[in-house]
Amino acid sequence: MPHATNAKRIFSARTLVLAMSLVLLTGCGAGPNAPTRLITQVTDGVEKMVGDIKLVHMLLVKQSDGSGVLVGTLLNNGESPDLITNLTVNGIPAQIAPSMLLVTPEQPLIFAGDSANALAVFPALNVKPGRHVTLQITFRNAGLVTLDTLVRDRVGEFANVGPTFIAN
Q: Which residue has the higher pLDDT, 13 or 62?
A: 62
Residue whose C-alpha is closest to residue 45's, from 55, 30, 31, 32: 55
| Residue 164 confidence (pLDDT) | 73
| Residues 52-90 pLDDT 10s | 999 999 999 999 999 999 999 999 999 999 999 999 999
Q: Are the beta carbons of 115 and 96 closer than 8 angstroms? A: no
Q: Are the beta carbons of 95 and 59 closer than 8 angstroms? A: no
Q: Which residue has the higher pLDDT, 102 or 14?
A: 102
Task: State the burial class of residue 26 (Cβ atoms within 10 Å of its Cβ: 0-12, 13-18, 19+).
Answer: exposed
Which homologous superfamily is 46-158 in? PCu(A)C copper chaperone (2.60.40.1890)
- Domain positions in the chain are 2-37, 46-158
Asked which of 8-12, 40-44, 49-53, 135-139 is least confident by mean pLDDT, the reply is: 40-44
Q: Are the beta carbons of 150 and 60 closer than 8 angstroms? A: yes
Q: pTM (2 decimals)?
A: 0.73
Degrees (nearest 5) of the Cα angle 156, 107, 163?
A: 40
C-alpha separations of 1 from 7, 9, 10 in Å? 10, 13, 15
Full DSSP string of 131-168 = -EEEEEEEETTTEEEEEEEEEE-S-GGGTT--S-----
Residue 39 has pLDDT above 60, yes or no: no
